[in-house]
């Protein structure tokens, strides 16, 4: 598998009860023992000087390959930063314990650039009072290795100079147009992306598997969105829209990779985000069925002017406590 702690690419090899971690360009590697004595998952560094980034990669690997364990006992030097965030704590017998729910909130493992939340400053959009939003990102915002696919999923900010033709092709796909109803020429789709770029509450992203683009995502701040009146959106609630443009990536194994990953990205993007909401069209059966598998509660049906929708909601606490980045049922 690959891991990206602090935006550093590391390869992790799991063989039997051992892990080997190294950067592709060389440099000092590290070796770890990963085993389950008495049913307790334990991780031990075999070199005393293993770096903090290697420890993070080893912990990500341990929880990835042993998803049913909520805690890992760690025998290694623990940096103060991981104790401060709660990812690793001391047990009553003095050993160190890594906690799955806290580790998966370490944005530095999946976000190439980790920024502190913007200071809280309220502004008005029309009659709506909401926090001033941060500047939109550029480049890759999220990366995660998907174990059942053996591929890395990434999300990056859309770049119309390079992505317009692909976006235009996707929007004219009959399956996409059935739900998005944005079929048109290149000029229309350029204007569409320009409108999204000018909207401070929405960010356009492209999803890729191993650098092959497969879909388009719009992630937004729910407080300023049309959904707000139907869910009493809080200041930092988020939401998303999606289209999967490449037919080869429309199966369940891919959906159960990208849907939890988008949720994960939104919770990492701002630690104050407590809820993620979504409002798929009532006849989008595949998405609606998958929402429950990925932890979303389906709360009600309601009417927009252009569609009847279902309100789905995912709580931050449930996502991390129940490890919902792993599908609830094995993908097939």
Question: Alpha-carbon distance 151 to 166, whole Å?
Answer: 21
Beta bridge partners of 206: 156, 216
Work out the average pLDDT over 141-154.
97
Contacts of 257 (CB under 8 A, 6+ apart): 146, 148, 149, 153, 209, 331
Q: What is the CATH number of domain 2-108?
A: 3.40.630
Q: Is the pLDDT of residue 332 over 50?
A: no
Q: Please, what is the average pLDDT of the chain?
A: 95
pLDDT confidence of residue 14:
94
Sequence ranges of the chain with CATH classification 3.40.630.30: 126-321
User: Helix 252-269 and helix 285-293: axis angle, to 10°?
Assistant: 60
User: Rounded to an integer, what is the distance from CA 80 to the centroid of its chain?
Assistant: 26
pLDDT digits (tens, 9 = 90+) for 119-131: 999 999 988 999 9
Residue 329 CB coordination number (10 Å): 8
CATH class of 126-321: alpha beta
Of 52, 279, 301, 317, the active-site residue reads 279
Question: Alpha-carbon distance 222 to 131, whole Å?
Answer: 11
Work out the average pLDDT over 42-48.
93
pLDDT digits (tens, 9 = 90+) for 216-246: 999 999 999 999 999 999 999 999 999 999 9
Nearest to 44 by CA among 53, 56, 35, 52: 35
Q: Is 140 left (phi over 0), alpha (psi -120 to 50) or beta?
A: beta
Residue 115 CB coordination number (10 Å): 12
In the annotation, is 279 catalytic?
yes
Tokens 């092959």 belong to residue:
212
| Rounded percentage of the chain residues whose pLDDT exceeds 90 | 89
């Amino acid at each position: 598998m690959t891991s990206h702690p602090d935006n550093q690419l590391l390869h992790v090899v799991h063989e039997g009860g051992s892990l080997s971690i190294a950067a592709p360009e060389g440099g000092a590697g590290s070796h770890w023992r990963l085993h389950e004595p008495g049913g307790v998952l334990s991780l031990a560094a075999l070199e005393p000087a293993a770096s903090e980034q290697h420890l993070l990669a080893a912990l990500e690997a341990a929880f990835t390959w042993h998803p049913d364990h909520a805690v890992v006992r760690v025998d290694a030097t623990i940096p103060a930063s991981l104790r401060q965030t709660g990812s690793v704590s001391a047990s009553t017998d003095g050993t160190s314990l890594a906690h799955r729910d806290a580790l998966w909130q370490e944005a530095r493992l999946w976000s190439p650039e980790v920024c502190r939340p913007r200071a809280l400053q309220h502004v008005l959009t029309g009659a709506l009072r909401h926090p001033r939003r941060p500047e939109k990102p550029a480049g890759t915002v999220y990366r995660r290795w998907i174990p059942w696919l053996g591929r890395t999923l990434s999300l990056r900010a859309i770049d119309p100079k390079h992505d317009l033709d692909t976006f235009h092709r996707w929007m004219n796909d009959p399956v996409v147009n059935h739900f998005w109803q944005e079929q048109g020429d290149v000029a229309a789709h350029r204007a569409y992306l320009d409108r999204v770029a000018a909207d401070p509450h929405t960010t356009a992203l492209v999803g890729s598997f191993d650098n092959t683009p497969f879909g388009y995502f719009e992630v937004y701040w729910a407080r300023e969105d049309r959904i707000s009146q139907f869910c009493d959106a809080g200041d930092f609630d988020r939401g998303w829209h999606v289209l999967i443009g490449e037919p080869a990536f429309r199966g369940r194994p891919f959906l159960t990779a990208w849907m939890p990953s988008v949720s994960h990205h939104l919770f990492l993007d701002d630690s104050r985000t407590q809820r993620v909401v979504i409002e798929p069209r009532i006849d989008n059966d595949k998405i609606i069925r998958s929402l429950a598998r990925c932890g979303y509660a389906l709360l009600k049906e309601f009417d927009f002017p252009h569609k009847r929708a279902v309100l789905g909601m995912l709580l931050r606490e449930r996502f991390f406590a129940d490890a919902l980045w792993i599908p609830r049922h094995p993908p097939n």
